[in-house]
Every structure is written in C-alpha cells, then in structure tokens.
Amino acid sequence: MSPVPSVRLVRFESADVARYYDQNTTNFLAHGQGGAQGTIHRAVWGEGIGSREQAFHFVHDLLRARIAESGARRILDLGCGVGASLEHVLHGTEVAGIGVTNSRVHTELARTRLGARATILELDFCSDPLPGPVDLAFGIESFVQAADAEALVANIATVVAANGYLVLCDDFLAGAEDDRWVREFRKGWRLSSLLRPEALDALAVENGFELVEDLDLTPFLKLDRSRDRALGLLIALTRPLASMNAILESYLGSNALRQCLKRGLVAYRYRVFQASGLQSKEPVR
C-alpha cells in the first residue's frame, strides 16, 4: 500500500471538481490575471521572465523544452482546462495533442479553442480509460484535484510509453496537514490529493516511474500583489457566506493557498518522472 496523508480531512469526487469548474470558469476567465489568454494557473516569474504573459507561459516553456529534447510525438494534458496550455505547448510543432477534462464547460471551450489541432475528451482521469500510448503526459495544477491519487498514477502508467515522461506541476504538502489554512485550501479548491512529495514518489515507483527532475517554483510566485491583499480582506468580510456561493468558496481557497505558500505549509513544484518501461501495461485503447 502506498503512503498517503495520515489524516484525510476532506474527499471530493470527480463530479464535485467538475461542478466547481462548470460554476467558476466564466469568472476565472473574466477576472483572473491569465483569463485573457485562457490560462487558469499561476504565473511563475522565473529566470529571464520580464512580463506577466511570459510568466504565465514559464511552465509551458519547460514542457516544450522537455518535449523537444525527448522527441515526444504524442502528448496528453491531464486536466486540460480550456485548452490554453495545450495550445501553447503544441504551437509551432507537429506533436499530436490530447486533452482530458471532467468539466463539460472546459470540454466545450477547449474544443472551440483548439479545433482540429488536438483531441479533447471529457472523462474522469482516475477511473476512465485514458487514450494512449503517449510519449509524455502532463498535468498543471490538476493532480491535487484527483479523487484518488493512487488510481490516477496507475491509470497514467498504462498509457505512457517506455522511457516516456509524466510531468506534474502542482502544490505539495510541506507542513501540518491539519492546519486551518490547509483545510481551507482543500475545501475551497476541492482537493483530495494534496500529497507530500515523498508520497507521490512512492506511488510513482510502484507504477514504474523514476523521479528525474524536481524544481521548487515557490520562490518565483508573487504572493503579495494588491489584488491578493484585497482578496484577503474580502474573505475576512464574507467568510460566513463562502459555503453558500461557488465564487466566494473558490476565493476562500485562493486566499488560503496564498497563506499556505507564505507559511511554508505548501510548496509549488515542477516534477518530472520517467517511465522505466517495466510497468504492467494494459492493452492500448
């Protein structure tokens, strides 16, 4: 049995996560800083980044470099959102792209954005068959919302080709899992798989993957923007009402994440695993 957090404080099903995005995506795109680009993940102000647009593509460009170096020809976006990450990663390449999401809203928007450039499938990436084989599978801020981390890693292992890659850029538990801010982060963002890095590593090894790169991107996040402080004030005033409003509840999670990152309770990491080719594969679908 793989190690998992010793205290499971909250558990959300795939349908809960799908509902979260179906209810909130319009607001994310309208008011999120990356919304104009369709980006629903964090800006990373890494080395050489000079603009907000570049910061939103920092992780995408890490992926592009890995794909180019490895010669990957077919990639899978696990939790593809509205398709912006896949669009940027595929741009100017002949790589075949597939995106999967459990959100009806995301499916429709991603298909509109990408057209024939990529295949978008609506499914539960923990329990439904994944399309394969692929040379590289990646998830940006989607692993933590998996209803079952063990099932997800096992499912991915059935479709990543020998010597292929699994890339996860996400939040990892670094402090006390029963801390008030961690609980609010989990609840607000519907997180069931906020793991410690070593817990994910054990799952990866069980399924034939080896960790080959691990970058802590936390220092490259901007956590004290004026809008972040304003959000903290809004949450302080509306906290009793948050559970009755989907948007307020997502804001509750965002504010809690900021506190978790600042207090060292959570770290934002870019982690690359390589498939050994020894995993027990199911028939290609």
Q: Does domain 14-275 have CATH number 3.40.190.10?
A: no
Greatest Cα pair distance in the chain: 54
d(CA 240, CA 214): 39
Number of Cβ atoms within 10 Å of the Cβ of 238: 14
Q: Domains of the chain: which residue ranges? A: 14-275
Render 41-94 in DSSP notation, one character per residue. S-----TT--SHHHHHTHHHHHHHHHHHHHT--EEEEET-TTSHHHHHHHTTS-
pTM: 0.91
Q: Is the peptide bond before 133 cis (omega within 30 degrees of 0)?
A: yes
pLDDT in tens, the chain (285 residues): 444 444 445 689 999 999 999 999 998 888 777 756 667 789 999 999 999 999 999 999 999 999 999 999 999 999 999 999 999 999 999 999 999 999 999 999 999 999 999 999 999 999 999 999 999 999 999 999 999 999 999 999 999 999 999 999 999 999 999 999 999 999 999 999 999 999 999 999 999 999 999 999 999 999 987 777 777 777 777 777 777 678 888 989 999 999 999 999 999 999 999 998 654 444 333
The per-residue pLDDT for 278 is 54
d(CA 118, CA 106): 14
Give the start-end residues of each E strand in the chain.
Answer: 74-78, 96-101, 118-122, 134-140, 160-173, 209-216, 266-275
